[in-house]
Amino acid sequence: MKTSALLATVAFALAASGGTATAADNVVKLGASVQLTGTNANTGRYYQDAYRLTVDKINDAGGIKIGDKTYKLQLDILDNQSDVNLSVRQYVQLLKSDNVDFLLGPFASNFALNDSSVAEKYQVPMVQGGGASGQIYSRGYKYIFGTLPPADDYFASTIDMLGKVDPTPKTVALVAADDSFDVSVAEGTRKHIKDAGMKLVLDKQFRDGGGEFSSILSQIKSSDVDAVLWTGHETDALNFIRQAKSLNVNPKDFYSFTVGVPTADFRQALGKDANYAFGMTSWLPNESLKDKWFGDAKSFADAYQKKYGYAPDYHAASGAADVETFAYALEKAGSTKPDAVRDAIAKSDFDSLYAHVKYGENGQIDLPQIVVQIQDGKLVPVYTDHMLNKPQYPIPAWGKR
């Protein structure tokens, strides 16, 4: 018994003697803890890959100038195993023992919510492109910035478009997951639906990750709505479509999903059943998006595809913009002091492969969503504030495809 107590103390002490690495000169260290394993690993990898690619690109181009010295960026990435508690610990570790200078974010709103507290606690800026929930920015924190547009406006452009198509949907069903991000989306969407003069006849919330929609689908069928607006996570979107087909549920005109549609995995998993699905993205690899390091968004996408073997989506682009935010802010601040950099980030104003980056008062970027649709297995941008391509509308019933 005595020995076991001793053993415990030793183990405890061992963990106490964590390593203390010293940062090399002329290097700015960026740190992030992302989901490389566990339930969120599927999307988490976008962030690791985008961070890597962008840091390498910036270093290859000679690094960044701070004052009159040239600095290289260095990237420390830890795997939080999709465990929120671990990710919080890892961010502290990054700051306090791995001595990183600045923080990049994890994926998903609930992680961003927890991890940004570390940034705020130690007053080191974190720029994250993985959480869109309004909750992250409503706490009055000063050190958290985000490159995903506000969740409440995700459906704004979609609803805008619905006003301009024929026939215009009159009745709408809203199906939303119950997590932080989707609750924000749903709240905003209800308002947009009302403003557009449409009628919300079915408003259903489901357990995030539950994957079981037959009851909701049967209710959609019996209420015979014109359009379905759906928000949740990717696998749930997948199940929703598959179950809609097997229960033969067809909204009269239209359905749209906040996530999934832009990703290649999603289209591949669903095959032909993915066709006609509408979705949205805050980013498309257009040549019109000019970038200091990559040239434009398309070259970014090509480089990414070449290096990692899969196509980037808006998660990746948003992650790249996070790294670039630091690059611009460091040069502008002319210092690596956290407070100086923080103020420089707040004043960010630059074009990037992702978008024009400019943070609002609360630290969040504002971007319109581009409405996209899968047409014959291809992702086609349809609408921003005007029609880009002709939508396949209304969506044909399952039996008539």
By CB under 8 A, the residues from 287 to 326 that bind other proteins are none
Amino acid at 245: K
**Piece in contact with other proteins (CB under 8 A), picked from 162-170, 209-217, 298-306, 383-391:** 209-217
Residue 399 and residue 401: Cα distance in Å, rounded? 6
If binding is defined by CB under 8 A, does position 204 make contact with other proteins? yes
Q: Select from 2, 306, 378, 386 the one that contacts other proteins (CB under 8 A).
A: 2
110 vs 348, beta carbon nearer other proteins: 110
Nearest approach, Cβ of residue 261 and other proteins (Å): 15
Indicate whether 201 belongs to the interface with other proteins (CB under 8 A). no
Min. distance of Cβ 50 from other proteins in angstroms? Answer: 17
Amino acid of residue 254? F
Q: Which is nearer to other proteins, 272 or 347 (CB)?
A: 272
Please pick, from the candidates 1, 306, 376, 386, the single residue that binds other proteins as defined by CB under 8 A: 1
Does 45 sit near other proteins (CB under 8 A)? yes
Binding of residue 24 to other proteins (CB under 8 A): no
Candidate list 205, 286, 362, 384; residue touching other proteins; CB under 8 A: 205
Counting contacts by CB under 8 A, is residue 23 touching other proteins?
no
- b/e code 115-124 from CB counts within 10 Å (16+ = b): bbbbbbeeeb
Length of the chain: 401
DSSP structure string for 228-251: EEEES-HHHHHHHHHHHHHTT---
Question: For residues 260-279, which are near other proteins according to CB under 8 A?
Answer: 265, 269-271, 273
- Choose among 385, 387, 401, 363: nearest CA to 134: 363
Single out the residue of 32, 64, 71, 79 in contact with other proteins (rule: CB under 8 A).
79
Nearer to other proteins, 27 or 86 (CB): 86
Binding mask 229-258 for other proteins (x = CB under 8 A): -----xx--xx--x--xxxxx---------
Two tokens at 342? Answer: 């923080």
Near other proteins by CB under 8 A: residue from 305, 368, 392, 398: 398
Q: How far is the CB of 2 from other proteins (least distance, A)?
A: 7
* Euclidean distance between CA atoms 107 and 237, whole angstroms: 18
Question: How far, in Å, CA of 186 to CA of 222, rounded?
Answer: 22
- Best CA proximity match to 359, nearest among 149, 215, 46: 149
Q: How far is CA 107 from CA 40, 307, 318, in A?
A: 8, 21, 11
* Nearer to other proteins (CB atom), residue 27 or residue 113: 113
Listed in sequence order, the residues at least 6 apart from 375 whose beta carbon sits closer than 8 Å to its beta carbon are 275, 276, 392
For residue 168, the minimal CB distance to other proteins (Å) is 27
Interface with other proteins (CB under 8 A), residue from 59, 63, 76, 84: 84
Among the listed residues 129, 92, 137, 90, the one whose alpha carbon sits nearest the alpha carbon of residue 113: 137
> Considering CB under 8 A, how many residues would be counted as binding other proteins?
83
- Residue-by-residue DSSP string for 349-363: -EE-SS-EE-B-TTS
Q: Kindly state whether residue 387 participates in binding other proteins, applying the rule CB under 8 A.
A: no
